[in-house]
Amino acid sequence: MNWLRYTVHALTRAPLRPSLAVLAVALAVALFCAVSAVDRGLDLMLATGARSDVLVVFDRFQSCPPLSKLPEAHRGALEGMEGVRDVTAELFVISSCSRVTDLVAVYGIEPGKVRSFRDIDLPESEFAAFSSERGAALVGRRAATRYGWKVGQTVSLERLGGLTFTVRGIFTSKTEGLESAILVDLAYLQIATSQPGKVTLCHVRLADPENGGALAVAIDRHFANSKSPTRTASERAFMDAAVSSIAGLVEFTSLLGYGALGLVVAGVGNSLSMSIRDRTREIAILKTLGFRRPQVLRLMLSEAFICGAAGGAIGVAAAWVLIRATHFELSVEGFSFAPALSPSLLLEAMILSVVLATAAGLPAALRVARLRVVEALREVD
């Protein structure tokens, strides 16, 4: 007898119970993929978004760093300090400083220096058009996709007071999160937002990356008695502090993802146990016909395996479609990241669903495999 054909027949003969088990597995796997992708997306943003040779200088008393305000004159003072290789100033304009899923963030940058501090890739013609036009913008690929913007389109952001710009280029970046950014000329953004001479922060490129800690202390000491004292940190520390409010939540939800896989054990284990109880006479007849314990065990575990594989495939597909189709992103304090739904994560979810489903069916399968024919017939009666 073809064991696979028998297993499929056993599952489809009374489809309600195995269908519910498959649905439970699918929901658990989809949840696991979603929360794990968010966790990995945050880790990827922190890993790729910070350079080891850059310090960030911002307002000491601002709890939300992207809302800090420093005089642009701080840049000149920083350029004259020993150990500083280069300095650039940035102005952030964001729609919210809290945790949101659709944060609009515009960065006022210095076009001549942006490529020294930011990893952006776009055609030279588009960068030249941006650099030569005061009211132009470079838009990250994800932002352009989410809002449907095209090169040459004029955009007005009502959520930012009607800030208007013309998209002159769409860039890609290896830095996770940067592709959600909108870059405009610093001077233009200062005028458009009525903040002349103000910047959010300064990026300081170190002449010697090993001297970052000492230079950070020297910078803060230099501005300690000014009207705008500073707090200086490495770019990684700055990003860690900015996203700390959401990092704990993301870590907790990732634990929930693994907890959700417990549904696989509960759903498949319960389904197979009830299925075996209803088919005790049938299993006794199989043993009477000469089926040995390993063969009966394989038949029972095959049902759990198929439930796990089918539910895993459905859950993985659902998570992929949901995340890709909605262009879902999380944003906090000017930093945005998308769930990192990689092939390795999807493969891990599939393997876990199959392994856990098979393990869930093992106790019931062992019990029936060890059952004697006489005991099985007596149990039915």
Put residue 348 in one of left, alpha, beta given phi > 0 → left and psi -120 to 50 → alpha: alpha
242 located within any domain = no
pLDDT given for residue 21 in this prediction:
79
* 145 shares a domain with 106: yes
Q: What tens digit of pLDDT does each residue of 342-360 get?
A: 888 899 889 988 888 888 7
* 39 shares a domain with 188: no
Burial 344-379 (b: 16+ CB within 10 A, else e): ebbeebbebbbebbbbbbbebbeebbebeeeebeee
* 28 shares a domain with 137: no
Residues 6+ apart with CB under 8 A from 72: 89, 197, 198, 199
Q: Is the pTM of this model over 0.85?
A: no
228, 262, 283: which is the final residue of a domain?
Answer: 228
Angle at 56 between CA 54 and CA 60, to 5 degrees: 160
Mean per-residue pLDDT, 209-232: 92
228, 262, 297: which is the final residue of a domain?
Answer: 228
* 95 shares a domain with 178: yes
Confidence of residue 81 (pLDDT cuts 50, 70, 90): very high
Q: Tell me the sheet residues that pair with 170.
A: 139
51 located within any domain = no
The separation between the first and the last C-alpha atoms of the chain, rounded to the nearest angstrom, is: 27
* 79 shares a domain with 208: yes
The DSSP line for 67-110 is G--EETHHHHHHHTSTTEEEEEEEEEEES-SS-BSS--EEEEE-
* 335 shares a domain with 261: yes
Angle at 34 between CA 243 and CA 66, to 5 degrees: 20
* Measured CA distances, 340 to 36, 42, 140, 359 (Å): 8, 8, 17, 29
How many folded domains does the chain comprise? 2
**Domain coverage including residue 115:** 61-228
CA separation for the pair 215, 194 (Å, rounded): 32
* 173 shares a domain with 140: yes
How many residues would you count in the chain? Answer: 381
237 located within any domain = no
**Is residue 279 a contact partner of residue 10, using CB atoms and an 8 Å limit?**
yes
The DSSP letter of residue 63 is: S
* 224 shares a domain with 86: yes
Mean per-residue pLDDT, 3-26: 70
56 located within any domain = no
pLDDT given for residue 7 in this prediction:
63
**Is residue 129 a contact partner of residue 355, using CB atoms and an 8 Å limit?**
no
Q: What tens digit of pLDDT does each residue of 178-202 get?
A: 888 899 999 999 999 899 999 999 9
228, 261, 295: which is the final residue of a domain?
Answer: 228
* Residue from 130, 170, 117 nearest 147 by CA: 170
Q: Is the pLDDT confidence value at 378 over 70?
A: no
pLDDT given for residue 381 in this prediction:
46
138 located within any domain = yes
296 located within any domain = yes
* Residue from 148, 81, 79, 141 nearest 110 by CA: 79
Q: Is the pLDDT confidence value at 23 over 70?
A: yes
* 123 shares a domain with 259: no
Confidence of residue 364 (pLDDT cuts 50, 70, 90): confident
Q: What tens digit of pLDDT does each residue of 229-258 get?
A: 999 988 888 877 777 666 666 777 777 777
215 phi and psi angles, rounded to 5 deg: -70, -40
Q: What tens digit of pLDDT does each residue of 266-312 get?
A: 766 676 666 666 666 666 666 666 667 677 677 777 777 888 888 88
Q: Which amino acid is at 179?
A: E
Within the chain, residue ranges assigned H as helices are: 3-13, 16-48, 73-79, 114-117, 124-131, 141-147, 186-192, 212-222, 235-260, 262-278, 280-288, 293-326, 343-369, 373-380
* 210 shares a domain with 140: yes
127 located within any domain = yes
* 126 shares a domain with 21: no
* 376 shares a domain with 255: yes
298 located within any domain = yes
**Is residue 224 a contact partner of residue 80, using CB atoms and an 8 Å limit?**
no
Least confident of 57-66, 114-123, 273-282: 273-282
pLDDT given for residue 151 in this prediction:
94
